[in-house]
Structure 1
């Protein structure tokens, strides 16, 4: 049996997205059909529309999603119809060399559904990050559907599936922020604010938010920033050093991904400090650093891919923090919209007017 549902599809590079009817099959072995309740509009969806991720059009967009399991395929015994889930774009295979070495968060063969979702004429769709959730139903590998507490509002819970996990994990998993550390976060969009929240929850005594927009800096304080720096008219490196008695920070997180912000993060570290890049760079971007400074400064330069998370472990933890009031996921939701407003949400995102627009279904 298959299901015909409306969905947001990018048919060709750079063109506005369209709502069109797609066909979603019932799950095969190891797969689950999910009824989507909410899905955030992420920068990555816009990258897909612009052809910056690849050229496998048409793309079925949407990947920051929460919903309920509708049906399960053969061999799925840890999920049941009615379970509340957040969808993940990492589902460790368990058998690659990274999984076998006990590092499933670096899995080299992450699982996705194998039965294709299609246009009505049978054209296969490429689901964004292996999910494709700007639709009432989507088909994913069972490992991508992470069971969470049903008390969580789907509009907030779904954001854990990408942006919130990426930022939070950049601080907690990759940067390994510890009690008493000093932290700077450059870029206070959704990912950067999640990094601020993660650093604060990890016990950092000073969390310095850096951005060029005072509204974004004000928002960062709601997620736990203790100090803010507007770098539009101020040298952010000098300002961060002034706020840390001249030393610099233990962990500097670049949530922008520009060569300039990477160099700023590199320079504002304390001796043996850690730089974490979580902002996604353009493919042509390069950065030049002094090898002598790299050697003499010590520490580590790390890239954080999906917050180095293990969804089955980390998603329920973040939901518990949300339900206990320690992690304000609701504050990331700037507005709720319908499927027909995704293109408008892209424009608002580009103008910096929202942390997240969330499609509700």
Structure 2
């Protein structure tokens, strides 16, 4: 058992606090990882606000990289000293998705069996709920060994750790879920961290045109820097008509984009995505809606008549063991600019301030350095 500093959300809507937690020694199938960097993701804020579930207190943080410190006796996939990116899809290998050769859809992903606990205060000993089974706003954390993906140890921890959630979700939404490639047109609605990652992924795959849609001029500029060929300010322009016009200029007769990625998670923008796609085109929902949101009313004949596919993308349909090392290699080659996603590096005491900056829209990612 070790005691380390960590960021905990004790109650819904209350500011997070840095406190001391207990991290058990790793048991069977587990690993203790010394965290080097962890991005501040909107999902962490959702946990703090009670938008995921009510299993307080939460140990926040999940977009992380670090070094394996210790493993359980039966662990062979990683060893102490390995540099890893943490993931929340530790595949089971036994569910029906895994057995049919599609582990990226695993229905029974693993987390650590033992629980980390609060180490001080009146509620000392209370079990913590780690965000996405990780809990990496901490000097060290306990995870399932399968949540550790070995990558190039010379890579910058603050950059590659972001593959653990938002960047992978966006890139995967384009390449894995949307099957974006050469000769395909793409529009991305919503240019926050996930949206611009989808743009970067589309550019990596050779798509054209790549149309970025947002209401924030700064986000549209970032989208251009990461590969967007066109931008649309949807506060002043009808995005559906703009996407159709741009695609028709490139491909005669096109009635929209081949793939439209919705990275906001709202009914209004999903409906825009539905009508902005070409006939037989694909809509990919990667923005996370709230439980009260419903699919906007659509004439069923439009769903039938336009053909194509309406998909959701969960974690970019990624397989960490396949995708993380590949994307880190592309980053090391200078072909994928993960550094562009790191807006600032902060300390463990600055997470609450980073949440406030999310509302201003001025950061892609604040990254906690430990």
CA-CA distance at 1:33 after TM superposition: 0.5
- The CA distance in 2 between the partners of 1:12 and 1:199, in whole Å, is 39
Task: For structure 1, list consecutive stretches of 5 or more residues without a partner in the other structure.
Answer: none
Deviations 1:31-89 (A, max 9, x none): 11100000000000000000000010000000000000001111111211110000001
- Which position in structure 1 is the counterpart of 2:351? 342
- Which position in structure 2 is the counterpart of 1:39? 38
3-state secondary structure, aligned to 1:134: coil
- Which position in structure 1 is the counterpart of 2:103? 104
- Which position in structure 2 is the counterpart of 1:325? 334
Cα RMSD (Å): 0.7
- The CA distance in 2 between the partners of 1:54 and 1:306, in whole Å, is 19
3-state secondary structure, aligned to 2:12: coil
- Which position in structure 1 is the counterpart of 2:365? 356
Matched, 1:308 2:317: yes
Moved over 4 A (4+): none
- The CA distance in 2 between the partners of 1:232 and 1:151, in whole Å, is 42
| Superposition map of 1:11-26 within 5 A | 11-26=10-25
TM-score (norm 2): 0.97
| Count of aligned positions | 360
- Which position in structure 2 is the counterpart of 1:258? 266
Task: For structure 2, list consecutive stretches of 5 or more residues without a partner in the other structure.
Answer: 249-253
- The CA distance in 1 between the partners of 2:20 and 2:32, in whole Å, is 17
Matched, 1:167 2:170: yes
| Superposition map of 1:76-225 within 5 A | 76-120=75-119, 121-225=124-228
Matched, 1:275 2:283: yes
- The CA distance in 2 between the partners of 1:202 and 1:338, in whole Å, is 35
- Which position in structure 1 is the counterpart of 2:294? 286
TM-score (norm 1): 0.99
CA-CA distance at 1:99 after TM superposition: 0.8
Q: Is the 8 A contact 2:77 2:146 kept in 1?
A: no
- The CA distance in 2 between the partners of 1:250 and 1:102, in whole Å, is 27
Deviations 1:125-148 (A, max 9, x none): 000000000001000001000000
- The CA distance in 1 between the partners of 2:293 and 2:360, in whole Å, is 22
